[in-house]
Amino acid sequence: MNSERWVGVGSARMAERSRQDEDAVTDAVRRATTQALAGRSASAIVVLARWTLDLAVVARTVTELAGAAVVVGSSSQTVYARDDSLPSDVVITALGGQGLSARGMLSSHQDPTARGAEVAAAADGLSDAHRVVVLLPAGTTGDHQEVVRAAYEHLGPTVPLAGGGSTGDLVQRRSWQFLGREVVENGLVGLALGSDRPLGIGTAHGYHRTGQGMVVTESDGLLVRGLDGRGALDVYREHLVAAGVEVADGLDGDGWGRLASSHPLGLARRRRDEARTVIAVHPDQGALEFVSAVPQGSLVHLLSGTEDDMIAGARAACDEAVGALDLPAGGVILFSCLAREALLGGTGHLAEKAAARTASASQNVVLAYSAGEIARVRGSAGCHNQTVVALAL
């Protein structure tokens, strides 16, 4: 087993007026990539770039500097590097050293099941003792569960999955993914990593159950119309009130959005509840709309938690990921949730990154706020909301 493993992180911020200037974007990406590589030859490079940049320019520039490294990337609304207090326009994570191999796969297939199976095939050519597939799907399409299920069916139970949904133009439901120079819209890119030593994945949200469980009695996946045989919105409101939450009459969409974001539902699983974020309510239908699927027949609970609980969840995810390694961590990539970013306020990202730095004893920390998180280590389930997923390398 070889311990000469390294992780490099580079980042760049740009003035708003220069984000549409191709030369300025090229220069910023070059600086970030050069910083991450530091003269070394990488096996893989993960790029997270502000969605308003020309991602074709970003992809081309990184690929020109990457040598033989596999380059994967996606659009992002908010991504931080190391202990920076401000988000970056582009963050580059380079992975290298002996005993590490990588393959990438990109899919723009319209069917999410086909996308998941196609991208999971990136791991087929790796024979390493330890393998992980990092998935960066569109966070705007609501079909992560189908992608994860298809990847699991292709890979089997021994290959873990980690990642987060690409963010971008959430109003128009558009995001972008790329492999090398090729950029697609609302697709899926995957990075299969093979290693002669363990790679660590941790996941936690910090919320706890409040009140009795509810059975999903009418759902088409993302839109839940019935809980316990009644209108979903009425039952959800009753559970909020029972938990001591003040629910004003006549809430508009924004009011419900603020209220629901701090009280997701937990989809009952064997090890822990998977959080499901309510992104909209539909009073005319008495329905709740979710980021990720809530299948009919599922058992769910109202989840609650303070900011301290959420930060404790971030620490637990990082500790779990780093604890799976057999040597000191070279770095950690965190996929947290846009809803967590809003709930934790302006300094929450500092606490989430601090959790990773403390667990790994490394400054090589990247934090991306995603639309849906992916972590599948045991069993076939692996879609999360309002959750921190940590990948320790």
**Structure tokens of 375?**
């972590």
CATH class of the domain comprising 208-304: mainly beta
pLDDT tens readout for residues 291-323: 888 999 999 999 999 999 999 999 999 999 999
Lowest mean pLDDT among 176-180, 224-228, 287-291: 287-291
Is the dihedral angle over the CA atoms 18, 19, 20, 25 positive or is it negative?
Answer: positive
257 confidence band (pLDDT: 50, 70, 90): confident
pLDDT tens readout for residues 308-362: 999 999 999 999 999 999 989 999 999 999 999 989 988 899 999 999 999 999 9
Residue 49 three-state SS: strand
Q: State mean pLDDT over 149-161.
A: 94
Give the start-to-end residue ranges of the domains of the chain.
5-204+309-392, 208-304
In degrees to the nearest 10, what's the CA dihedral of 78, 74, 326, 385? Answer: 60
- Distance, CA of 83 to CA of 291 (rounded, Å): 29
Going by their DSSP bridges, the two strands 278-282 and 287-294 should be labelled as antiparallel
pTM of the predicted model, to two decimals? 0.94
- pLDDT surpasses 50 at 1: no
